[in-house]
Amino acid sequence: MGPSNEDLQRSLSHLLSHPVPELSADKLKAFVAPYFEQRGRFLEAVRTHGSPLYLLDTAVLKARADRLKAAFENVFSPVGFYYAVKSNNHPDVARCLLARGFGLDVSSGLELKMALELDAREIVFSGPGKVGHELLLAARHADRVTILMDSPGEMERLAAVASRLKQTVNCGVRLTVNPSGLWRKFGISVDAIEDFFRTANRCPYIRLSGLQFHTSWNLSPRPQIAFIQKLGKTIGRLSPAHRKAIEFIDIGGGYWPEEGEWLHPDATPPGRARQALGYAPECPASHHCLPAVPIESVAEQLGAAIHEHLFSILPGRICIEPGRWLSHEAMHLLVTVADKKAPDLVITDAGTNAIGWERFESDYFPLLNLTRPSLTETPCHILGSLCTPHDVWGYFYFGTAIETGDILMVPNQGAYTYSLRQNFIKPLPKVVTAD
């Protein structure tokens, strides 16, 4: 039975009485100012390569990689680092992170093929519904690929492939963090680990040596810690032989950049509640922020939980699979104002097919007029050139004015934008890689 009307009313009342904090003007200016200080190199990129374009900044990517590794290596060892390719699948991103000592976490045969072509020596292959040719490719490169199996059926299909090749494959099994709702598509229940190991032991070419789980959208380490506690109790109940077989535990990634998630008013929980009650959308005159925990604190808290709940039972290797945290700040979009239709309405030469979805109707990102810079934000509908009204870059820009031909920057578009881009109506921007 679903919630009663009274329960719904209480929930809505709670949401409305707990607004999301506003993003302070000082914090926003501090974020914007460094990009204006570097505006010369961004403008030069457009002069050289044209508009629109994605600018991949590998110096930022390297710094993020080094900072993340230092944070986790400071709290537990050994630890394996694997970049989640799905967050930004441009090969230069993976190539840069391989050079910083990362392996690659791939979620499809397509990503696996790229990882192999980049000569990645450590690859974890995760994701549900792996099909025959993907399992075959992974098994043929068993010296480099660890397959994170998603179900008993997938283990059966992999066992058949490995048997035909007479090739032992290194494997882990994914554990679902939520056995209800849409997240049940991922992995098996923690209660099924013992049975899964028994079945694997009957497959001569399956070497099951690890466990993996993943929580997403981690503004704090709380979801991972909660599952680590649950997993520790489950591992404690395993037979000694199966416990001994576990050589690694992969705790996933999903870490959110520390500036937090920036939202328009109607995308906050109270805003959604107002819309559910039938109120008209608010004018996006303010910006809101769901705060995130810095990666050093994330690592420290996870380290404490791992030592208490896992290492006390099962010393071994911990693996992590960050994606968003690494790639978010390392790619920017540069576009040009193609048409000024009104003082408060401009159209750019790129549409939001460059980011793959209607993200900026809910998420807030500052838009910087590199041609006419200012730390003052001015209201203006800045829309793309696609033939759809859901083609929104934002409702404000930082600048003294805005005119046709001005170069605008949408910073921090490195995660889940390039990978989600769509061949829809307009050509996609080219990619320029900067060292």
DSSP state of 87: G
Closest CA to 134 of 122, 119, 121, 148: 148
What is the Cα 41 distance to its own chain's centre? 27
- Token pair for 19: 């607004």
Residues 6+ apart with CB under 8 A from 56: 90, 92, 93, 330, 331, 414, 431, 432, 433, 434
Q: What is the pLDDT of residues 237-295, one digit of tens each?
A: 999 999 999 999 999 999 999 999 999 988 888 888 777 777 766 666 789 999 999 99
How far apart, in whole angstroms, are the C-alpha atoms of residue 103 and residue 1?
A: 46
What is the amino acid identity at position 239?
S
**Contact call for residues 113 and 135 (beta carbons, < 8 A):** no
What's this model's pTM, rounded to 2 decimal places?
0.94
Q: What is the DSSP letter of 186?
A: S
Q: Give CA torsion, residues 88, 94, 98, 104, to 10 deg.
A: 60
Report the number of secondary-structure helices (H) and strands (E) in the chain. Answer: 14, 18
Instruction: Delineate the domains of the chain, giving CATH numbers in brackets.
Output: 22-54+329-434 (2.40.37.10), 58-327 (3.20.20.10)
Find out whether 392 and 358 touch, Cβ atoms under 8 Å: yes
Q: What does each of the 435 residues of the chain score in pLDDT, given as a tens digit?
A: 556 667 656 666 655 566 788 999 999 999 999 999 999 999 999 999 999 999 999 999 999 999 999 999 999 889 999 999 999 999 999 999 999 999 999 999 999 999 999 999 999 999 999 999 999 999 999 999 999 999 999 999 999 999 999 999 999 999 999 988 898 999 999 999 999 999 999 999 999 999 999 999 999 999 999 999 999 999 999 999 999 999 999 999 999 999 999 999 888 888 887 777 777 666 667 899 999 999 999 999 999 999 999 999 988 899 999 999 999 999 999 999 999 999 999 999 999 999 998 899 999 999 999 999 999 999 999 999 999 999 999 999 999 999 999 999 999 999 999 999 999 999 999 999 998
Which residue, 297, 185, 177, is CA-closest to 229?
Answer: 177
Q: From residue 23, give the alpha-carbon distance in Å to each of 244, 275, 294, 359, 363.
A: 49, 21, 17, 18, 13
